[in-house]
Amino acid sequence: MASTADFFNDVVEDKATILFPGEGETLSVNGGSMVLKITSPMSKDQLGVYEITLLPKTIGAQLHYHRFMDEAFIVTKGVLTVGFMEGEKAAPEGTVIYVPRFTPHGFRNNSDQPVTMMLLFTPGQNREGFFRGLKEILSAIPIDPAKFLQLYNKYDSFSVDANNMLPAKMEG
């Protein structure tokens, strides 16, 4: 019986997605936002792209690491402060930060102006599920640290210090 599979020729398809500024599903949390741009279903779990806006004096994430995905930040507006085990670095607009798996990192907005960045995860690993869960947890009063840790661990995020893991508004 002859096979109908073509092992020698590519099959090309027009499947590009273009998301213009302001497009994508927006999740608002305490004045900041997470916009789901390229999701796991769109990329067959290979890539996740999300636009994050942090209000002034806001912690986005404490030191944590991922076991199964790499993360990249592209700062598009403002100055993001990125933390690593050895300390923090200011990342102005246009900065690209690549964080391979097993590299502890965190980020915050130390400035008096909003900061916007694109976060890229590879593979995507349904990161949008993490952001939807994060919106639910951070909208609750008080925030349940056990539920936050459960969400973190489910979506391949592991806190360096489980006693200091919640993102929050900074004092002062």
CATH superfamily of 25-159: Jelly Rolls (2.60.120.10)
Query: pLDDT tens digits for the chain (172 residues)?
Result: 667 788 899 999 999 999 999 999 999 988 899 999 999 999 999 999 999 999 999 999 999 999 999 999 999 999 999 999 999 999 999 999 999 999 999 999 999 999 999 999 999 989 999 999 999 998 988 889 899 999 999 999 999 987 777 776 666 5
Residue 115 DSSP symbol: E
Q: Where are the domains of the chain?
A: 25-159
C-beta pairs of 36-39 under 8 Å, 24+ apart in sequence:
36/128, 36/131, 37/118, 38/124, 39/124, 39/128
